[in-house]
Structure 1
């Protein structure tokens, strides 16, 4: 899978990125892959304004991953002092399970380390997503036990289908 290209997102990518992120996490289309949140959240995962916000942040970037000119994945990188934050990670559901995610997260870590000199990568994951957390643990991330509340009532993050959701901080030391 060395036929991937990485570039920073621009405003012309917003519609394609929203479509990609929604397809990876919400609704029946997301069930094709394994990263779906359709059983725990309804509503949207993001919207055009949210994607534009990430693109516009001076201390961050939204990486677009393409194969043969088609957008197949994306991830957010944000410089936060000694660490970088990794988020908004989405891989096309029809390509999930083929090793693409491993390549992309490794490239994101490399770029964060080389661009900002950070020594750690941080991310937050909904704590009930055990399979996803286990995937990140296999990539070297560790659970910290530090949690933050899910923003119930703020539909920009989705409409919860259950009580007790929270985000857990995962951390990886970058060599």
Structure 2
């Protein structure tokens, strides 16, 4: 009998972890469909200041997120399924964050759909959104390729990012 030395106790997941993630994603998708956020036309009308219904949806989501974000660590102490303590992971505001956020925002504004809503849009029968999903995958691939390609420094040697 062989034991895998690389597997430690912290990498094991609770058996309900994946089903709960699936149910959460399903609930999120249904919420997007019910609130009409999975329809690019609704999102575009919000971005053109013609329909402010999306503002109420986002405000409701922000309230629920805020309550959970600030309440769960105080009430639960650790994540229920993993037992790990809650931690904040801060990212510096650097060039990559600004450029990536700009590209994301322009793509969202042009298509009227963000990645989560794109999949929910498929669920309500909007198969034309597949073009946008293909674009997201191509963009992610290009970004991954760009980040993994060594960059030549000023001394002429290759340097990984």
What is the TM-score with the length of structure 1 in the denominator?
A: 0.23
- Please give the TM-score of this superposition, normalised by the length of structure 2: 0.25
Greater share of residues in helix? 2
In terms of fraction of residues, the more strand-rich structure is 1
